[in-house]
Structure 1
């Protein structure tokens, strides 16, 4: 291959990515419609409607407070705050791990009947869940502040950045697994089983540093751990997360997006035939 030939590949890749981004922008009305459907469709015929997105986090927090302060005391002080700081981001990541894998398969009718950037299905799934999670987390922070828990607002300034990095990380692995699920439905079922492992191996109910040995190493191999520990630092401990945690929060979405986009772009041409 000559020097001129070797320079063609990256140029084509850049042009292809630029084309995809342009098509996504031109199809923004479809994206907006799908996000709206995800947000409002679930509770369309209920009395509270969209308000259920606020009620559920409050109910969950009340349950955590009663169980872990009155029923089953924990050695971690203000344990309900510790759980609340991490449980909602964790639910966002793990629910997208399982539900996001079916983002393409679950919309097979659209994929087979009309042309649009397939990435929109993934973006709609992530954006709608992200909006719900952010609203719930805002409610939780307000409740924590009202109860008199000493929040340090300086570390909380990093909160929007960590949330966005987590959303990018999530988008990357949804792109990966949703495209693989089109070709092998078993992927979604495997991820449902794996999600249970993440539930027990992510430090939501225990301190990450309290676990040592092989199990402690496994916990830090879990990518979810770094985001949960970042939220614990900012909300519960009132500290800026450790440098290794911050670096991993930045590196993970970069790797996730690069891998997810590469696989998704390669496989998406066969979606309609496989569905």
Structure 2
């Protein structure tokens, strides 16, 4: 409760950092903010070419099947890999002034979340134009799964950002981990394609439930199963609690370590 009150008092600082990140991300770029939409579209094109044309997998409307999971994955992976340095990049601020250190990963993840929401501005029209359409009842669950993923991403960003202050190699290790994590998550394939004997292991991956829920809502146009949502909530909240504890312990010596 004390932390929540502190974060509320520093809400203007959080909003300021989010605005600065969104404005400065593509500063000096010719296409600027258009990269928010172009980046996922280019990745979509590459994956579609490989898995729909070259390595045919037989999934109907594969580009849609992929797109609705790729956007959430880009958000999560960016929060993990980029979130690792969100404290390091603001080390002068950390050393000179007091503020709840949780502000930095919170602002970083929030700016990435805004980017994901903007990307969904492209996803929804594509679903409609393609003839796939959307189910209004199923879509009402979309904000819920977004909040769950946001919680998970924030927990991961807090955890890795705190560890990186003490272990600088974490930033580079996470590049390999996120790449492997993507292939261990149902981004480019369906969880049904995973052999049954090892499927329980895949379900331990929190992103499995989250991506399955996104795909249920937007591709299959159905309400996610209660077990899928419950699994995602438990893992998201569980990781957040662990991250808050670790971050609190490690943040006490951030200034000295930086």
Give the distance between the partners of 2:139 and 2:154, measured in 1 at CA.
23
Instruction: State how 1:1-275 maps to structure 2 within 5 Å.
Output: 17-18=1-2, 20-64=3-47, 68-70=51-53, 72-275=55-258
Unaligned residue ranges in structure 2 (runs of 5+):
none
- Contact 2:52–2:58 (CA under 8 A) maintained in structure 1: no
Q: If the length of structure 1 is used for normalisation, what is the TM-score?
A: 0.86
- Contact 2:40–2:70 (CA under 8 A) maintained in structure 1: no
Give the distance between the partners of 1:157 and 1:269, measured in 2 at CA.
41
- Indicate the larger mover: 184-193 or 222-231: 184-193
- Contact 2:78–2:112 (CA under 8 A) maintained in structure 1: no
Deviation at 1:224, TM superposition (A): 0.9
More helix by share: 1
Q: If the length of structure 2 is used for normalisation, what is the TM-score?
A: 0.92
Instruction: Render the CA deviation track for 1:35-84: whole Å, top value 9, x for unaligned.
Output: 11111102222344334323434444455555555555430111111000
The CA RMSD measured in Å over matched residues stands at: 1.9
Instruction: Render the CA deviation track for 1:218-259: whole Å, top value 9, x for unaligned.
Output: 322211111010011111111111222110121122101111
Deviation at 1:86, TM superposition (A): 0.3
Give secondary structure in 2 for the equivalent of 1:102: coil
- Contact 2:65–2:219 (CA under 8 A) maintained in structure 1: yes
**Residue matched to 1:6:** none
Unaligned residue ranges in structure 1 (runs of 5+):
1-16
Give the distance between the partners of 1:88 and 1:71, measured in 2 at CA.
22
Structure having the higher Rg: 1
What is the aligned residue count?
258
Give the distance between the partners of 1:57 and 1:192, measured in 2 at CA.
18
Instruction: Render the CA deviation track for 1:198-222: whole Å, top value 9, x for unaligned.
Output: 1211112222122115543332221
- Indicate the larger mover: 207-216 or 161-170: 207-216
